[in-house]
Structure 1
Amino acid sequence: MPGRRRLIPLACALAVDMFGSGLFLPVSLLYFTEVAGLPLATVGLLLSVAAIGSLPVPLLVGQVGHRFRPIDRVILAQVVQAVAFAGYAWADTAAGVLAVAMLAAIGQRLFWSSFFSVVAGLAEPEEDRSATDRRYALTGMIQMASMGAGTLLGGLVVAYGWYQPVVWFNAASFLLSGVLLLLAPRDRAALPAGPAVGGYREMLRDRPYLLLIAVNTIFALCSVFIGVALPVYLIEALPTPDWLVGPLLAANTVLLASGQALAVRLVRPLSRPRGLALAGLLWVVWALLYAAAIRVPGAALVPYLLVGLIFFAAADLIHAPLSNTLSAAAAPPAQRDRYLAVYQYCFAFASILAPAFFTTLYARGPAVPWLALAAVTAVATVVVHTLNRPLTAREQITHQAA
């Protein structure tokens, strides 16, 4: 119970943040074309440059983050993003768009490079694995539910052209989230007097953790792949109505928002690396099923796709909490901030890689991206299974040190 009470302000702040972000998501490209009047191709290029330009942020956080509490870094990230979205109102040139988009991307990278250090810092003394996994599962459910609710409402924003109000709302949501974070408890550990022990050279020699980062990059690619690939695949390659894209993605959101706690309970008998291996196996099955969808008769296609979606959702539900808890538990306590900041590159690289991965392979055939994804995910699944012994042993050492 004390742990849950300590999580409430953080959970509320996350819910507000994700709802505002989800609300803005459907208009993220349209805003600058409809309000600023810039060409779509220019906007896409500017947003990509901004995303790439923010990539050094996790490395910087890992280097100097020990000087600031994780919760303070998260609050700073919310303020930065609020300022960026307030600046959207005056961004009507390419240079202006690049400036505010870069500021927003830096704030977002700072947030995710620090947020899970905050969650890890809420652990009670002698806390068992189930309590830790439940905490991460709860934050994942809040993230998905709030983002999904905001995205669904964002459809109305597009329909009615409420572009400017939603930008102001998003800026206000970041500020409100920052205020709520002021109520969140600080990590019990005191700030270190000097730099964190070790450095990036030591981390580069940590073979099990580097392999974990590589594996999770592939798993993160699976997680974001559905949003990139499914709309094109359904509309261009399969004999399905265009309107099916929305309901399928909405069904996926509902599954992810409601099933994470159940998934955590079901995989509790497994070690965390083996739980991740199970998630990888489920993603392999999902990718193979969707690759074969071009051979499925039209009358059976919709239920077939829904069955495949269950495999995807099950994998994502298992992966989300376990990957975050494992990354925190496998990091040396003295370097946890650095390790968790660098770990966020998994999701950054996956988001950058997914569009090129899909479009390049899709040109060779509609099933090719799904088959390629199944192949690389199968390799990642085998690798994470081989990491079971070293990572589990490291978890036990970290738990005893805590």
Structure 2
Amino acid sequence: MLWPLTLINTFGNGLFRVNSALFFTHVGDMTAAQFGTGLALGGVCGILASVPFGRAADRWGARRVLMVLWSAEAVGILGYTQVHSFWMFLLLICPITAVDRGAVVAYRALLATALPQDGVVRARAKLRALANVGVGLGAGVGGIALAVNTPTAYFAVIVGDCLTFVVAAVMLAGLPIAETPAAVAAGQDRRRSGVLRDRRYVLFSAICTVLALQFGVFEVGLPLWVVRDTSAPRAIVAVSLVMNTALVALLQVRLSKGSEDSVGAVRHGERAGWLLALGCAVFVVSRSGSAIAATVLVLGAALVMTIAEVYFAASSTTLSYNLAPDGQAGAYQGLFQSGTSTATSLAPVVMTSGVLQFPVWGWLALGGVFAIAGTSLRWIDVETRR
């Protein structure tokens, strides 16, 4: 019953994401540096907002909070049509990013109660696969606006994204999802201890933050690496990104098998860490050789890292729910998502100022960090339920 919501919402995300940079720099009268600065400051707001919004979901119900946040985000997104300066952009991007991160947390908290306990891992995997499909479809449609490249086309994209939030909020209101008041009450009673005092969960979130740096490889590292350090054609960047999106959608359900319990999820996470390390090593090798060899190696590295991404998603999703006490899914998902947001903010800096500045040792060091992070999941006492 949640699949239409996921498809509609992620379609809007893909629609706007592929156009945002050109819209704000060409229509919004900002420089690329100003746009990047605004995104970074918005990211900080998103990190800070995750846990408070998660607690709100526990207290007032995830569905109610999610409906409010999606409605607020629709209004904020529509406000982008009035942006013609950096300061106006900054005034909007900070609260919108905070609300967006809060909506992600509330959505994940909703999954804790809305999905059937039988086959919950498979259901989450299906929703993640569907999310990739939605983003891909949205990006494809958004490409039309890029080709047209007029203010009217970009405004249409913004209005379209706004409508996806409105439609999703209305549909959510009509879904027969019953949140258990007892679970909410339990969360209120236990909140005194606080998620930040749960050392086990804090350690788990920190490890996942490190592993989530992998997303910077496809967004920043791979494109710059191909252009600057290999003989592979530039078109291979687009091929790699399409392959990543398609394979995640196709493999997420299948490769999530075995991660239904916490012990199996740890194995998946460890496997992800070592596969990421292998992918980094293959990138190093792709630096030398003919265009054909470089193309094959880059695609090979992208394939390995895509499989690692699927394993990591299965592992982190299961553990993020299983390690949280009953009734506090919102607060705990808030902490987990704040780590993911931190990784998203740091990844471009890690790639551009670290890995790509030292082409061989940078990749090898990043791979070593991934391997250590994946292996360190063994340190967590996942068999003790709190």
TM-score, normalised by the number of residues in structure 1: 0.89
C-alpha distance in 1 between matches for 2:54 and 2:73: 20
With over 3 angstroms needed to count, the CA separation of the structure-2 counterparts of 1:363 and 1:107, relative to structure 1, is: same
Please name the residue that 1:364 is paired with. Answer: 357
User: Is 1:151–2:142 an aligned residue pair?
Assistant: no
Equivalent residue for 1:206, pick from 180, 189, 198: 198
Change (3 A) 1:195 1:118: closer
Q: Cα distance, 1:70 vs. partner?
A: 0.6
Q: Quickly say closer, same or farther: Cα 1:76–1:329, change in 2 above 3 A.
A: same
Change (3 A) 1:185 1:277: farther
User: Where does residue 5 of structure 1 map in the other structure?
Assistant: none
Match of 1:176 among 142, 162, 167: 167
CA distance in 2, matches of 1:194, 1:393: 19
Q: Distance in 1 between matches of 2:90 and 2:166?
A: 22
Tell me the distance in 2 between the aligned counterparts of 1:98 and 1:267: 41
> Is the Cα contact below 8 Å between 1:197 and 1:335 reproduced in 2?
no
> Structure 1 unaligned runs (5+)?
1-7
Given residue 130 of structure 2, which amino acid in structure 1 is its aligned partner?
A: I
SS of 1:224's partner is: helix
* Structure 2 counterpart SS, 1:373: helix
Alignment of 1:231-270 (within 5 A): 231-265=223-257
Whether contact under 8 Å (1:357, 1:369) holds in the other structure is no
Change (3 A) 1:210 1:301: same
Distance 2:11 2:361 in 1: 35
Please say if 1:101 is aligned against 2:93.
yes
| Alpha carbons of structure 1 residues 314 and 74: separation in structure 2 relative to 1, 3 Å | same
Matched, 1:139 2:127: yes
C-alpha contact (below 8 Å) 1:273/1:392 kept by paired residues: no
Indicate whether 1:215 and 2:207 are aligned. yes
Partners of 2:192 and 2:294 lie apart in 1 by 49
Shift of 1:177: 1.2
Of 37, 59, 63, the residue aligned with 1:45 is: 37
Aligned to 1:160: 148
Which of 268, 280, 284 lines up with 1:275 in the alignment?
Answer: 268
**3-state DSSP class of the match of 1:295?**
coil
Per the TM alignment, residue 244 of structure 1 is displaced from its structure 2 partner at its CA by 1.8
CA deviations on 1:260-303 (whole Å, 9 max, x unpaired) are: 11112366696111121111111111111112211343322222
Q: Are the equivalent residues in 1 in contact too, given 2:45–2:95 (CA < 8 A)? A: no
Q: CA deviation at 1:167?
A: 0.8
Q: Give deviations 1:85-109, integer Å, cap 9, x for gaps.
A: 1111112122221122223212211
Q: 1:292, 1:187 → 2: CA distance?
A: 53
Alignment partner for residue 224 of structure 1, among 202, 216, 220? 216
Amino acid in the other structure paired with 1:153 = V
Q: Separation in 1 of the partners of 2:69 and 2:194?
A: 28
RMSD of aligned alpha carbons: 2.1
Checking the alignment, whether the CA contact within 8 Å between 1:148 and 1:253 is kept in structure 2 is yes
What TM-score do you get using the length of structure 2 for normalisation?
0.92
CA distance in 2, matches of 1:303, 1:164: 40
Which structure 2 residue ranges, 5 or more long, are not aligned? none
Instruction: Tell me: CA distance 1:135–1:94, structure 2 relative to 1, closer, same or farther (3 Å).
Output: same
Matched residues, percent identical?
A: 24
Structure 1 runs of 4+ off > 6 angstroms?
none
Aligned length: 381
Kindly state the Cα deviation for residue 213 of structure 1 after the two structures are TM-superposed: 0.5
